[in-house]
Amino acid sequence: MTASPLSVPPGADDPAAPAPSPEGPVTLDEAAQHAQDAAGWVEQNWSTWLNTSLRIVLILVVALVLRMLVRRALTKLIARMNRSAQAVEGTALGGLLVNAERRRQRSEAIGSVLRSVASFLILGTAGLMILGAFKINLAPLLASAGVAGVAIGFGARNLVTDFLSGVFMIMEDQYGVGDSVDAGVASGEVIEVGLRVTKLRGVDGEIWYVRNGEIKRIGNLSQGWATAAVDVTVHPSENLDRVREVIGEVADDLAKTEPWNEQLWGPVELLGLTEVLLDSMTLRVSAKTMPGKGLGVERELRWRIKHAFDAAGIRIVGGLPLVAEEAPASDPAASVAPPSALASPTSPQSMAASPIPPPANLSK
């Protein structure tokens, strides 16, 4: 039975239906019908395509422009912080309170963190909005990302701890480049501050790489002010008023001499006696100094006090003893022992100590 010329082949109304088998010839009506169906499908969906494409383009443009504006604002903020540090550099205030390299590294680290966070948030939000424009269900994706984040957090908890500790350390300005710190596990001068590792230069020149997460306590010796304390031990027979007068002259001279007058943040004070023994007296001399300058002031104080004591004739315990007066000559006969009664064999003491000889008849 032949098909009617008006009959429509199966699947002709469905544009997604498979094409007719190449074995049979395609008639002109069938080709026209397929073209009409495809044009109708495009006409029905072109508005959706255009709307989705415009939404994606708009999301990308807004995200990139917003990211550029935020990064530019952060860069200008960091540059302004650096300019404020350079403005006072070289002045007396800058020498006391501002370390340009420390401010630069701190601002750069903060700027890097803020730029990274801003880029992640903006681009991540744009990516989720683009997926939503394609009618993709984001609930399973967000759930999977949450589970993966928790797994990564547990696996890399040390790295996360180091990173978070570094961020809070930089934000709080606990220490910076040029500071002398005691981190517990290591101590020395800070030469580089990072989000994960802090580099310290030890007293012997070694470089310590300390993870920020391992720092449980930090002692900064370069913030606020330092104390120069010198203990002076003198002979107990010295006049304390004279010692106080000499130390006061040394303190006044040190406060008027450069560069010590800038490093001293307070007068050099004699606090008094800290120890009194039979053979020595210890006096404590103290002064408030710039951060990190306490050791230098201590050395200079010892140097000047030693010279001043030598000039004033004040004896320091442990120094060269004074020349003692000559003692009278001793009697040479004092070391001679008295004569002993046992020295003479005929003395009663020697005869009493001699053994008694046995009787002669006992030998027969």
Torsion over CA: 24, 28, 34, 37 (sign): negative
Q: What is the pLDDT of residues 326-357, one digit of tens each?
A: 455 555 555 555 666 566 667 666 666 666 66
Query: Which residue positions in the chain have pLDDT lower than 70?
Result: 1-26, 28-46, 82, 84-103, 105, 153, 155, 318-345, 347-364
pLDDT, residue 3, reads 42
Residue 148, H or E segment: helix 138-155
Q: In what order do the strands lie in the sheet with 207-211?
A: 207-211, 197-201, 187-193, 180-182, 219-220
Nearest to 68 by CA among 109, 110, 123, 130: 123
pLDDT, residue 183, reads 87
Query: In this structure, what token pair is assigned to residue 9?
Result: 């082949």
CB atoms within 10 A of CB 88: 15
Q: What is the dihedral of CA 72, 73, 78, 83, to 10 degrees?
A: 100
pLDDT, residue 16, reads 46
DSSP secondary structure string, 43-54? Answer: HHHHHHHHHHHH
Q: Across the strands, what pairs with 264?
A: 289
pTM given for the model: 0.49
